[in-house]
Amino acid sequence: MAVTHITDKMKRVDAYEKARGEAKYLCDFHLPGMLYARMVRSTIPRGNILSINLPELPDGYYFISAKDIPEGGKNALHMIAEDYRCFADGDVKFIGETIGILVGSDRGVLYELEKMVEVTYEELPAVTTIDDALEKKAIISGEDNIMCKLECEMGENVDEVLSKADSIIEETFETGYQEHVHLETNSVACAYEDGKFVIYASAQCPFYIRTSIACTMGIKSDDIIVRQMTTGGAFGGKEHFPDVIAGPLIVACNKIRKPIFMIFDREEDMEFSVKRHPSRTVFRTGLDKDGNILGTDIKIYYNVGAYLTSSYVVLQRGVFHSTGVYRFPGARAWGFGVATNCFPTCAFRGFGAPQTLYAIEMHLDHIARKFGYDPAEYKKKYFLKQGEETITQGHIVEKVMLEEMMKQITDASDYYRKVKEYAIGSGKGIGISFYNHGGAFTGNGEQAIIKAKLKLKKEGEKVSILCGSTEMGQGFRSIMRKIVSDTVGIDIDNVFYDNPDTSKVVDSGPTAASRSTMVVGFLCEKAAKEMKERWNEGDFEVIKQYEHPEGHPWDQTTFRGDAYLGYGWGACVVEVEVDKLTKEVTTKGIWSSHDIGRPIDELIVHGQVNGGIIQSLGYAALEKLECKDGRFKQRSISSYIIPTSMDFPHQEYFFVDNPYPWGPYGAKGMGELVFNGADSAYMGAVERAIGRDTFKIPMPPEDIQGVVDRK
Amino acid sequence: MSKIEFTLNGKNVVYDGDPLRRLVDVLREGFQLTGTKEGCGEGECGACSVLKNGKLVTSCIIPVGSVGGDEIVTIEGLRETEQGKCIIDSFAEGGAVQCGFCIPGMVMASQALLLTNPHPTEDDIRVAISGNLCRCTGYDLIVESILLASRKGEGLW
Ligand code: FES
Ligand code: FES
């Protein structure tokens, strides 16, 4: 019997079916009698709909809109709140809002029909940038366009600290939109089978979809079945957004009673799907005469678009990560979610943390250089340690190994020699960053809100894992089977896990927040241990539910307490050369070290590190997505540039061993952590090479030229 | 409408229909060969890569009318060959596969490379797959897996 041990470097269980082209994604299915759907979307950022004129629809073609929502239903998708409308009705709030869907058998015909739909509007003044919204050029939400806000503080009173400081440095950093570009576009289908609606979706969170559209239809969640299909990448882009497709589809399916597929083409996916929040972070930092930080006051603005989606939670994470991996004598952070008439922003790997982590890293780089310190040494003075206070007045629960990690990457990259050798402005540069990511939902959210459950079912020699957590490329399916194989001591081929079907599995919570291995995997390990002890009892089931460790208070109304029990920690060095003439940047080396507890599979975590870091470097160096008057300018992957195999060199990576007591075999979350810091290491290197401070990402060559030209 | 004859994964086939139809649609819908994926539809991502007379092409920008008399190989054909099996094995062993959507195209690109260059360097590989986008892996493990295939498959190409 071949047990797969945690320390074995395993072949992923889905590798062959995917590499052989046998894995079926939603677009690979064909059901008898199936129809397709195409969205009709708003073309202005804000206005009242005066009329919708449809072309004559051929037989078997339909137009479905808000008026088709059944009695008892509601024109709303229940994401976190019921704020996102299933269909625009009466007015539109952003370009790309769903007005209706056209349904029929031929995609070519639908495409032509969509072009013939005429909508007339009375245009209303719109706000499409953070500035417009803050200046109240129009009021679109509440009294001040602030859709959500929060405040946190720790340590000494920041106002007093700033009034006594020898100097105050004020800096503003901005980050742009980022598109997920999961290689498989958003795709959802809805069918009516045996008296129930069945949703087939490329998605991260099947139970989210169910809740969201049960609200639209006014029916019980149990009357809807959601089946996750093999998912070709997600990165947050398929956390809540599938609801926006599933809602109109279920309304249509309710009328037409035939299977209906909606598969976005790439252009639609680029132009009309959620994105990462653009941000602005403003620091006012008080220093003594030697440049030591006395305290900092941070104001954070995220552009949330026209609907809230998950933005309040994203903003909270941004605020909780705004002091980075550092402890200052005093700190205060304010977060504002700014409403605009832009496509809503939502989850994207890192979930609000990357924006503020980028900002604090650059801010410390700038202060260090101004006072003549090496950025690495300067940052090290402020490293958080176990037991120290965080911005939420909670404590760091675990051992922090940043100094060891720093040593690994500064040695491997020869950092100290290079910072001496590469004179500021010489065209060569090296940068270093430190970052973390709080694992799982904030505070006691796992217990109070998610209430994650997992079931193991034993039949003969076989064990099935039943939970709602999904495989989207990150390796969950392999890791879960490995945990059961090792813990129970059975062949991994006798451990089963299928893409979740909400009628068959228990709800283990969303596949998000780097929580699946750490939280759901831990439930799996516990259930497997019990199963092993009772192995001879015949066939039986074990269900485990999340329990929050005692002694870690959290208040979700004041945002005080232990926000996260286990952080992933990271450190990254990037080295670049910038061409004096063209400002083309060549990345010469990438070194990283991560504390993810104890890795569950060497190869899988290696792949996560590589992929996360390249996405982060794309975010900093290439991925420019501009929104002009509420419309995205880059609408294809020829105009929105993501990294290719040629853009960045081979990476060197390290881990430290720091087993986490509440994760399976000592593992912590890592999916998002690895996105959180290469961007600022890269920008630090570029700054050294060009001898200028920078204040925004992305920073493609043409923008570097602009910075160099700046007087 | 016109009749187009070509070789598909070693078999002679006839397509009778609109010659302007994209090859990717003919493969996926007409021949039910869904291993070839569509990621962009504009020749930019490589998910739809197939071999045409041994050369890598993106089937989303080729009209089926242009492949008359040609030899087309898709992942469904390649996976049954010794070369294909070696590449796929190496991808599994080397950890090249995450969400998998780019991977059939990457396997095709690897084959196209190894056919002309059985002992590629890391740089050769990076150039050869530069038309194939992957959003998950950051490419390192794909590159290493192709190196592994060229070692394990010594003599196959
Ligand atoms: S689908 Fe053909 S290149 Fe992207
Ligand atoms: S494995 Fe997901 S795009 Fe390559």
DSSP string, A622-682: T----EETTEES--STTTS----TTTS--EEEEE-----TTSGGGB---TTGGGSSHHHHH
Question: What is the C-alpha to C-alpha distance for residues B138 and B141, in angstroms, rounded to an integer?
Answer: 8
Pairwise CA distance, residues A318 & A295, whole Å: 18
Q: Is the pLDDT of residue A1 over 60?
A: no
Å from CA of A452 to ligand 2 middle = 28
What's the token pair of residue A138?
């129009």
Please give the helix or strand (H or E) that residue A541 lies within, else none: strand A540-545
Query: How confident is residue A551, by pLDDT bands cut at 50, 70 and 90?
Result: confident
Euclidean distance between CA atoms A689 and A577, whole angstroms: 7
Using CA coordinates, name the residue in chain B closest to A186. Answer: B39
Residue A305 and residue A283 in contact, taking contact as beta carbons nearer than 8 Å:
no
CB A695, CB A361: distance < 8 Å:
no
Q: Which ligand has an atom closest to residue B40 CA?
A: 1
pTM exceeds 0.90: yes
Query: Does residue A339 surpass a pLDDT of 80?
Result: yes
Q: Which atom of ligand 2 is nearest to the CA of B106?
A: 4
Contacts of A185 in chain B (CB under 8 A): 39
Task: Pick the residue from chain A with its C-alpha nearest to B41.
Answer: A266
Amino acid of residue B35: G
Rounded to an integer, what distance in angstroms lies between the CA atom of residue A150 and that of residue A559?
8
- Residue A465 pLDDT class (50, 70, 90 cuts): very high
Tell me if B138 and A651 make a contact (CB, 8 A cut-off). Answer: yes
The percent helix, strand, coil of chain A (3-state, each to 5) is 30, 25, 40
pLDDT for the residue numbered A442: 87
| Confidence at residue A179, expressed as pLDDT on a 0 to 100 scale | 98
**Which tens digits make up the pLDDT trace of B100-153?**
999 999 999 999 999 999 999 999 999 999 999 999 999 999 999 999 999 999
DSSP state of A94: S
Ligand 2: atom nearest CA of A473 is: 2
Distance from the Cα of B118 to chain A's closest Cα (Å) equals: 19
CA distances from A346 to A90, A519, A577, A678 (A): 24, 23, 34, 22
Q: What distance in angstroms lies between residue B68's CA and the mean position of ligand 1's atoms? A: 21
Query: Quick one: closest CA in B to A181, which residue?
Result: B135
CB contact under 8 A, B102 and A183: yes
User: Which residues touch A38 (CB under 8 Å, ≥6 apart)?
Assistant: A101, A102, A107, A110, A111, A113, A114, A262
Q: How far is B5 from chain A (nearest CA, A)?
A: 24
Ligand closest to the CA atom of residue A266:
1
Nearest to A261 by CA among A200, A183, A209: A200
What gap in Å lies between CA A416 and CA A273, rounded to an integer?
44
The per-residue b/e assignment along B81-100, b for 16 or more CB within 10 angstroms, e otherwise, is: eebbbbbbbbbbbbbbbbbb
Q: Whose Cα sits closest to atom 3 in ligand 2?
A: B134
Query: A473, B129: Cβ pair inside 8 Å?
Result: no
Query: CB–CB of A19 and B136 under 8 A?
Result: no
How many A from CA of B58 to the centre of ligand 1? 6
- Residue B34 pLDDT more than 70? yes
B38 pocket-lining for ligand 1 (C-beta < 6 Å):
yes
Residue A610: predicted pLDDT: 98
Please work out, in degrees rounded to the nearest 5, the angle formed at the alpha carbon of residue A670 by the alpha carbons of A2 and B99: 65
Ligand nearest to the CA of B56: 1
pLDDT digits (tens, 9 = 90+) for A242-277: 999 999 999 999 999 999 999 999 999 999 999 999
* Mutation test residue for ligand 2: of B91, B130, B137, B140, the one with most atoms within 8 Å of CB: B137
Distance separating alpha carbons of residues B9 and A555, to the nearest angstrom = 62
Mean pLDDT of A664-688: 97
- In 3D, which of B76, B72, B62 has the Cα closest to residue B6? B72
Q: Is any ligand 2 atom within 6 A of the Cβ of residue B138? A: no
Q: Which two tokens stand for residue A314?
A: 């994203």
The residue among A118, A128, A100, A96 whose CA lies nearest residue A268 is A96
- Edge-to-edge order in the sheet of strand A260-263: A62-65, A98-104, A35-41, A260-263, A187-193, A196-201, A224-228
Residue A68 gets which letter from DSSP? G
- Cβ distance A607 to B45 less than 8 Å, yes or no, reads no
User: Smallest CA–CA separation between A265 and chain B, in Å?
Assistant: 7
Please determine, for residue A406, whether its predicted confidence score (pLDDT) is greater than 80. yes
Using CA atoms of B18, B22, B23, B26 in order, give the dihedral in degrees to the nearest 10: -60
Whether the Cβ atoms of residue A456 and residue A484 lie closer than 8 Å to each other: yes
Name the region of A324 (left: φ>0; alpha: ψ -120 to 50; beta: rest): left
Distance from CA of A371 to the nearest CA of B (A): 36
What's the token pair of residue A59?
Answer: 């037989």
Q: Which residues contact A147 (CB under 8 A, 6 or more apart)?
A: A141, A304, A308, A311, A312, A337, A338, A339
Is pLDDT of B54 > 60? yes
Task: Output the six-digit token pair for A264.
Answer: 């976005």
User: Is the CB–ligand 1 distance for residue B133 below 6 Å?
Assistant: no
Tell me how far apart the alpha carbons of residues A387 and A394 are, in angstroms, rounded to a whole number. Answer: 9
Tell me the two tokens of residue A359.
């900002």
Residue ranges, comma separated, of all CATH 3.30.365.10 domains in chain A are 35-124+180-271, 349-440+560-709, 445-545
A684 within 8 A of A574, measured Cβ to Cβ: yes
Express each pLDDT in A585-615 by its tens digit.
999 999 999 999 999 999 999 999 999 999 9
Identify whether the C-beta of residue B36 lies closer than 8 Å to the C-beta of residue B75: yes
Tens digits of residue pLDDT in A196-236: 999 999 999 999 999 999 999 999 999 999 999 999 999 99
* Number of neighbouring beta carbons within 10 Å of residue A611: 28
Q: What average pLDDT does this structure show over A11-38?
A: 96
Closest Cα in chain B to A30: B29
**CATH code given to domain B2-77:** 3.10.20.30
From the list B38, B74, B103, which residue is nearest A19 (CB)?
Answer: B103
Instruction: Tell me which chain B residues have a C-beta less than 8 angstroms from the C-beta of A180.
Output: 135
C-alpha span between A189 and A191 (Å, rounded): 7
- C-beta atoms of A15 and B92 within 8 A: yes
For B95, which of A24, A604, A650 is closest by C-beta distance?
A604
Average pLDDT over residues A433-460: 92
Tell me what pLDDT residue A445 has.
Answer: 84
The C-alpha atoms of residue A517 and residue A519 are separated, in whole angstroms, by 6
| pLDDT for A711 | 67
Q: Is B39 in the pocket of ligand 1 (CB under 6 A)?
A: yes
What's the pLDDT band for A285 if we cut at 50, 70, 90? very high
Average pLDDT over residues B57-78: 98
Q: Is B113 in the pocket of ligand 2 (CB under 6 A)?
A: no
What residues have CB less than 8 Å from A58, skipping those under 6 apart?
Answer: A104, A109
Sheet with B71-73, side-by-side order of all strands: B11-17, B2-8, B71-73, B49-52, B55-58
Is B141 close to A603, i.e. CB distance below 8 A? yes
C-beta of residue A86 within 8 angstroms of C-beta of residue A230: no
Residue A447 has pLDDT above 90, yes or no: no
pLDDT score of A375 more than 80: yes
Residues A569-588 have a mean pLDDT of 97
User: Considering only the top CATH level, what class is A35-124+180-271?
Assistant: alpha beta
Select from A31, A186, A178 the least CA-distant residue to A98.
A186
A710 pLDDT tier (thresholds 50, 70, 90): confident
CA triple A357-A642-A315, angle to 5 deg: 30
pLDDT value of position A32: 84
Residues in chain A: 711
Ligand nearest to the CA of A642: 2
Each residue's pLDDT tens digit, A356-370:
999 999 999 999 999
Instruction: Name the residue ranges covered by the structural domains of chain B.
Output: 2-77, 79-152
Q: Which residue has the higher pLDDT, A562 or A32?
A: A562
Q: Which fold has domain B79-152?
A: DNA polymerase; domain 1 (1.10.150)
pLDDT class of A687 with cuts at 50, 70, 90: very high
Report the candidate in A561, A577, A526 with the shortest Cα–Cα distance to residue A686.
A577
Half-sphere exposure for B43 (CA within 13 Å, toward CB): 7
Cβ contact A233–B99 (<8 Å): yes
- Distances in Å between the Cα of A632 and the Cα atoms of A147, A177, A639 are 22, 10, 11
Angle at A25 between CA B149 and CA A348, to 5 degrees: 90
Distances (CA, A) of B67 to A282, A569, B35, B73: 58, 53, 19, 12
CATH, range A445-545: 3.30.365.10
Q: List the alpha helices (DSSP H) in A225-373.
A: 241-256, 266-271, 311-320, 353-370
Q: How far is the CA of A407 from the centre of ligand 2 (A)?
A: 32
pLDDT for residue B113: 98
**What mean pLDDT is predicted for residues A406-433?**
97
Amino acid letter, B17: G
CA distances from residue B93 to B89, B124, B133, B146 in whole angstroms, order as listed: 6, 21, 21, 11
Give the rounded percent of residues in chain A with a pLDDT score beyond 90: 96
- Looking at the DSSP assignment, which residues form a beta bridge with residue A326? A383
Tokens 């946190």 identify what position?
A: A152
Residue type, A232: G
Q: Is the ipTM of this complex over 0.95?
A: yes
Q: Identify the CATH number of the domain defined by range A349-440+560-709.
A: 3.30.365.10
The two structure tokens encoding residue A277: 């929040």
Atom of ligand 2 nearest to the CA of A183: 3
